Amino acid sequence: MILRDVRRNKLKTGLIVTLFFVFITLLIYFLSLWLFDSIYIAAFVGLSFSFITAFASYYNSDKMILKINNARPATREEFLQLNVSLESLCISAGLPMPKLYVMDTPALNAFATGRNPKHSVVCVTTGLLNKLDKYEMEGVLAHELSHIRNYDILVSTIAIVMVGFVSILADICSNSLIFGNRDDDSKAGAVLMIVGLVFIILSPIFATLLKLAISRNREYLADASAVEIARNKEGLIRALEKLETENEPMQVNKATESLFIVNPLKGKEKDSLWSTHPSTVNRIKKLQNIQ
């Protein structure tokens, strides 16, 4: 089951990266064609930019996400029990110890990121540390370790960074349309306008599809795997109950919302086609049915 999910996530990551590569190459190609009036230069710039952004997404996406969310290292001196709990769960799961970070916020939340188990990060909020007991915290940590073991982090982290790149490029294209001036070549200007409008329209759709590619079922699977790792479903159930009743929205970059154990931008998540998380109530019901 786990090996099948890992293979599926790796295949999904390859598909996302390929679509992103083609999309960005075409966008940069048309922008460069308008700027340089040369097919060869435009093709070179488009391909070069796509290779660089794909490389940066794969190797530096975790650092970008930690920086965006103002996370800091959870040192052993300051957070001894948290480090000990994570080390114990890693032994149980057969995983290397991920880097451990915290976010200074009263909201209750956590996320995992990285590209593989050897290069992974678990981040929790200080609000979570203050509100959860040891077993509840272990349930949350086990949930995040499940995402790491299943390679969910690879899919979600790369998708998030690529969504950011697409949004930035759409803004550049939009500004070019507004402030650009190509009176000397009305044909090139018309091409840019058409291409720019197409990509401006496609950009939010592309970003939404990338998020939806990260199936909500991964949260159910991570919950079930967490019970296997922690050997205690009650801890995660109580933790989710607190996240449902005692939590509050937190200020995070919208592009990263799908990473967290519960949606950080909403108080309560309802199941819908466009939601990034399944409802906490439904997750608790599924956990209670585990024998």
Question: Looking at 136, 138, 144, 219, which residue is catalytic?
Answer: 144
Spatial distance between the Cα atoms of 48 and 24, rounded to a whole number of angstroms: 10
CB 255 within 8 A of CB 204: no
Which residue in this structure is represented by tokens 């990266």? 17
* Catalytic (active site) residue 228: no
Q: Which residues on neighbouring strands pair with residue 112, listed in sequence order?
A: 122
Closest CA to 27 of 56, 49, 57: 49
CA within 13 Å, CB half, 147: 34
The gap from C-alpha 179 to its chain's centroid, in whole angstroms, comes to 33
**Paired sense of beta strands 72-73 and 99-103, if any:** antiparallel
Q: Hey, what amino acid is at 163?
A: V
Question: Which strand ranges, in their side-by-side order, compose the sheet holding 99-103?
Answer: 72-73, 99-103, 119-125, 110-116
Spatial distance between the Cα atoms of 140 and 226, rounded to a whole number of angstroms: 8
Question: Looking at the chain, which runs of residues are DSSP E strands?
Answer: 72-73, 99-103, 110-116, 119-125
Q: Hey, what amino acid is at 149?
A: R
Spatial distance between the Cα atoms of 29 and 46, rounded to a whole number of angstroms: 5
Nearest 5°: CA angle at 48, between 47 and 54? Answer: 85
The gap from C-alpha 154 to its chain's centroid, in whole angstroms, comes to 9
Spatial distance between the Cα atoms of 73 and 102, rounded to a whole number of angstroms: 6
Say how many C-beta atoms besides its own lie within 10 A of residue 94's C-beta. Answer: 9
CB 124 within 8 A of CB 102: yes
**Annotated catalytic sites, by residue?**
144
